[in-house]
Amino acid sequence: MESVKRGLAAAALFLGLWQALVTFAGLPPFILPGPWRVAGALVDNAGLIAWHAGITLAEVVLGLVLGTALGIATALNLAVSPLARYLIRPALVATQSLPVFALAPILTLWLGYGIWSKVLMAVLIIYFPVASAFFDGLMRTPKGWLDLGQTMGASPARQLWRIRVPAAIPALASGLRLAAVYAPIGAVIGEWVGAAGGLGYLMLLANGRVKIDLMFATLIVLALLTLVLHRLVGWGCDRLLRRLD
């Protein structure tokens, strides 16, 4: 309840500063519309925004699920295989020197304007944080725990699933919380490059038609969607961590 009060207070402060900037700076609506004008656009176009939000949400959820699964599989492979660490890990790190956003036009060219180019963009953005965080957790298992497992005759596989993986869950949870924030970025970047729907597409459409109030309303919905997704993922991670305690 306290976090809700702080969130509402922060939102009220933000809206007050926004309205004050528009009023005292005399900014025209096509530069920066006031919060009431944006709220009106949100109400007037609620159905349209909801439809495009559904497309973006589907892209984000698919990207989050696929990217998380791929990141977990990669981390497990790196943790159990010295050869994989020697061959794959340097390549994995080197790929981060290439801006993922630069791949959006290529993915759109290969996969078209449908949902999968945006899903793959989300996967590429969240894959490295999840894989890196989980791998670090797997490699930092307390040595005493592993020694105890060996003393009790646990096989390497049992040590992995009964000791190392549970010990690495907090690190994985941190990676998932980051992924929940990054996934919408990938989907929207893909929609900006080329799409037939989604919040990113709607923002570009509104901007091209000089409907700046609609563009800001869409941006606010995107921010709220990201916050809700982050809270849901955080809630799921907290429940998982409590079960492991």
User: What domains can be seen in the chain, in order of their start residue?
Assistant: 51-244 (1.10.3720.10)
- State residue 195's pLDDT score: 87
Q: Kindly give the parts of the chain with pLDDT less than 70.
A: 1-4, 245
User: Model's pTM, two decimal places?
Assistant: 0.91
Is-contact 35 19, C-beta < 8 A?
yes
Q: Beta-carbon neighbour count of residue 218 at 10 Å?
A: 30
Is-contact 86 159, C-beta < 8 A?
no
Token output for 35: 């919060």
Token output for 68: 């998380």
- State residue 94's pLDDT score: 74
Phi/psi zone of residue 195: left (φ > 0), alpha (ψ -120 to 50 degrees), beta?
beta
The single-letter code of the amino acid at 66 is L
Is-contact 169 137, C-beta < 8 A?
yes
- State residue 225's pLDDT score: 95
- State residue 1's pLDDT score: 62
Is-contact 135 75, C-beta < 8 A?
yes
What is the C-alpha to C-alpha distance for residues 213 and 36, in angstroms, rounded to an integer?
10
Question: Which has the closest alpha carbon to 104: 195, 229, 210?
Answer: 195
- State residue 95's pLDDT score: 73
pLDDT in tens, 213-233: 999 999 999 999 999 999 999
- State residue 89's pLDDT score: 83
- State residue 38's pLDDT score: 95
